[in-house]
Amino acid sequence: MINRYSSVPMYTQLKNIILEKIESGEYPENYKIPSEQELCEIYNISRPTVRQAISELTSNGYLYKEKGKGTFVAKRKKIIDIKEYTGFTDSVLDSPNPGQKNIISCKAVKVGENPRLGEIFGVSPASGAEFAEIRYSVMQNDEIFSYNTSYIPRSYFPDIIEDIKAKKPSYDILKGKYPLLPFKSKSTLEIIYSDQTDSHFLQVQTGQALIKIESLIYAKAGQAIEYVICKYRADKCRLSFDNVK
């Protein structure tokens, strides 16, 4: 029940109660929770308190509303288990069948069109270096979880665009390129907010929170061979860490 004498705000206590019911299965997916008025009566709290708790749970993806019907429990978030995270998550070069990804576009871009690539790969815009820009989404049960962009130097993989379009497996793409096999990576993680492009591909409203992971993947010989930007829907995904010393 709600403890009126606790230092924890009452709306937070209500949020925790509802979350416990969701986690325990008492409130399963797509279950209609009690109305605002019913929650007021059950816990003897005010309508604004209930409304704030429901609003935050809805914003965080635990609940959703249907106009004229009520508030329901959302589907559980997909867990991205990175307990053995290598930075190769959603990498094109490290995928067994990169052509089987849900490819959105695959084209060549010059470093001058995207100066950030020059900084990352250490090449001058004046060099005219080209990269394969591969955009793709990750789906599960017809739901989109992430929108990703991979950049691969064409100096190392001149046929990568044609190979992806031909849906070649990775062993064909990497044939004869053993020194260029993905070996290690450096990654960063941050929370961002979707722009119009993200919103279009992820089917979310502009300004919605996303989990962004950027990874620079290196070959055994030390060359940077792939730069991957993964944007996950924060309302559909959560990261799972398992660290062992």
Instruction: Please state the pTM of the whole predicted model.
Output: 0.68
Last residue in a domain, options 76, 94, 113:
76
Q: What is the rounded end-to-end Cα distance, in angstroms, of the chain? A: 39
Q: Does residue 103 sit in the same domain as residue 148?
A: yes
Helices (H) and strands (E) in the chain, counts: 7, 10
Q: Does residue 102 sit in the same domain as residue 222?
A: yes
The range of the structural domain enclosing residue 126 comes to 79-240
Query: Quick check: is 99 in a domain?
Result: yes
Q: Does residue 102 sit in the same domain as residue 55?
A: no
Q: Does residue 67 sit in the same domain as residue 101?
A: no
Query: Quick check: is 245 in a domain?
Result: no
Q: Does residue 131 sit in the same domain as residue 226?
A: yes
Distance CA 95, CA 164 (A): 11
Query: Quick check: is 226 in a domain?
Result: yes
If DSSP codes are grouped into helix, strand and coil, which group holds residue 233?
Answer: strand
Total tally of structural domains belonging to the chain: 2
Phi, psi of 180 (to 5 degrees): -100, 10
Q: Does residue 105 sit in the same domain as residue 219?
A: yes
Q: Does residue 14 sit in the same domain as residue 84?
A: no
Query: Quick check: is 173 in a domain?
Result: yes
Last residue in a domain, options 19, 41, 76:
76
Distance CA 179, CA 222 (A): 9
Q: Does residue 97 sit in the same domain as residue 61?
A: no
Q: Does residue 53 sit in the same domain as residue 91?
A: no
Distance CA 214, CA 90 (A): 11
- Residue 167 is inside which H or E element, if any? none
Side chain identity at 209, as an amino acid letter?
Answer: A
Last residue in a domain, options 53, 76, 99:
76
Distance CA 113, CA 125 (A): 8
Query: Quick check: is 68 in a domain?
Result: yes
Task: Give pLDDT tens digits along the chain (245 positions).
Answer: 889 888 999 999 999 999 999 889 899 989 999 999 999 999 999 999 999 999 988 887 788 888 889 999 987 765 555 444 444 567 888 888 887 788 999 999 999 999 889 999 999 988 999 999 999 988 776 778 889 999 999 999 999 999 999 998 888 888 888 889 888 888 888 989 889 899 899 888 888 888 899 999 999 889 999 999 999 888 777 666 554 44
Give the contacts of 112 (CB within 8 A, at least 6 positions apart).
125, 126, 128
Query: Quick check: is 70 in a domain?
Result: yes
Domain with residue 71: its CATH number is 1.10.10.10
Domain with residue 91: its CATH number is 3.40.1410.10
Distance CA 19, CA 82 (A): 24
- Report residue 69 as tokens: 């019907």
Query: Quick check: is 3 in a domain?
Result: no
* Contact criterion met (CB below 8 Å) for 224 and 152: no
* Contact criterion met (CB below 8 Å) for 83 and 241: yes
Q: Does residue 84 sit in the same domain as residue 174?
A: yes
Q: Does residue 190 sit in the same domain as residue 69?
A: no
Q: Does residue 161 sit in the same domain as residue 50?
A: no
Give the contacts of 208 (CB within 8 A, at least 6 positions apart).
193, 194, 199, 202, 233, 234, 235
